[in-house]
Amino acid sequence: MNVGFIGLGTMGAPMARNILNKGHRLVVSDVQPAAVASLTAAGARAASTPKEVAAASDFVITMLPDAPDVERVALGPDGIAAGIRAGSIYIDMSTIDPDTTRKVGEAIAAKGAAMIDSPVGKTADHAVAGTLTLMVGGAPEVIERCRPLLDCMGTDFFHCGTLGAGQTMKLINNLLATAVSEASIEALVTGTKSGLALDTMMSVLKTTMAWNNALAIALPKRPLTGDFNPGFMLKLAQKDCRLALAMTEKAGVHAPVGRAALASVDEGVRRGMQDDDVGVLLKLREEQAGVQVRAAR
């Protein structure tokens, strides 16, 4: 397949590389020349604008930081909509709000092309391994055409509904994940400050309704070893929680726990932790409590 990929950051670069490694022809674009150079060295072709990427591709993929970036890349004068061919498909794998997704989708449809949204779950390690979770929104027949590409990047596939439904699923997922992680961190730090051993807490929590994947996987993998290098940056968690809460407000749903989770993330960003892993909230609570919670090595 002729595939275009725009957005070669922490997640996008390994996703694009997996497409290339599966034998597809790839044209790439990014604001960082080094990211483009790395992919061209592996066999991709570079393009100077999103319009040029779209004109050369049957499938165009974006993996961008936020909704304004998607609008600019998709709808700008040199954007995807300006170059996309009739019959082609645009796949946005960014995490943005569903309203923007549907707005872009209308512009793409006006060009005789189609769009699906497929934000991803899990971490940069899973992006490298090609084992991401894919939350997909769009028409079934369009999605079916995209499956060979999506299967290059992920192993857990979920068709969530019409265009924008993937974004809705991703936002509620990330808001819940952030709230669960923060609550788990608060519990572990409080227990440690009160004299409990980490092993004891983990052993008890495994047997109760408090157990969750933050305790089982995310916290032991990095934060509880003292590693705060980004798998999923705190500033991206902030953006996702902000978008999710705007969505809950529009739906008329009160979300006091979600708002508390965003407040914790905002606190970490104000402390300069925005480029660290979201698990750096553990470090923030440790510093405030004057204790350190670490797994035995």
pLDDT in tens, the chain (297 residues): 899 999 999 999 999 999 999 999 999 999 999 999 999 999 999 999 999 999 999 999 999 999 999 999 999 999 999 999 999 999 999 999 999 999 999 999 999 999 999 999 998 889 999 999 999 999 999 999 999 999 999 999 999 999 999 999 999 999 999 999 999 999 999 999 999 999 999 999 999 999 999 999 999 999 999 999 988 899 999 999 999 999 999 999 999 999 999 999 999 999 999 999 999 999 999 999 999 999 986
pLDDT of residue 164: 98
Assigned token pair, 80: 């995807």
Amino acid 49: pLDDT:
97
Q: CA-CA distance, 291 to 285, in Å (whole number)?
A: 9
Quote the tokens at residue 166. Answer: 């993937």
SS3 109: helix
**53 contact partners, CB below 8 Å, separation of at least 6:** 4, 5, 6, 27, 28, 29, 47, 60, 80, 83
Q: Residue 105's pLDDT is what?
A: 98
Q: pTM score, two decimals? A: 0.94
Superfamily of domain 168-289: N-(1-d-carboxylethyl)-l-norvaline Dehydrogenase; domain 2 (1.10.1040.10)
Where in the chain is CATH 3.40.50.720?
Answer: 2-162
Q: Using the structure block, give the residue that is written with the tokens 């402390």.
A: 271
The hierarchical CATH code for the domain 2-162 is 3.40.50.720
Continuous H helices in the chain? 12-21, 33-41, 50-55, 67-75, 80-83, 98-110, 124-129, 140-153, 165-193, 198-205, 213, 219-221, 234-251, 256-270, 281-289
Catalytic residue among 170, 235, 239, 283: 170
Tell me how far apart the alpha carbons of residues 56 and 51 are, in angstroms, rounded to a whole number.
9
Task: Return residue ranges of the chain for CATH 1.10.1040.10.
Answer: 168-289
What pLDDT score was predicted for residue 123? Answer: 87
Question: DSSP assignment of 255-286, as one string?
Answer: -HHHHHHHHHHHHHHHTT-TTSBGGGHHHHHH
pLDDT of residue 231: 83
Residue with tokens 């790439």: 28
Place of tokens 């150079």: 37
Q: Is 170 a catalytic residue?
A: yes
If we measure between CA atoms, which residue out of 63, 53, 180, 177 comes closest to residue 119?
A: 63
At 91 the pLDDT is 98
Question: Using CA atoms, how far apart are residues 222 and 181, in angstroms rounded to an integer?
Answer: 13
* Six token digits for residue 290: 């004057």
231: left (phi over 0), alpha (psi -120 to 50) or beta: alpha
CB atoms within 10 A of CB 161: 15
pLDDT for 296: 81
Radius of gyration for the alpha carbons in the chain, expressed in angstroms and rounded: 20
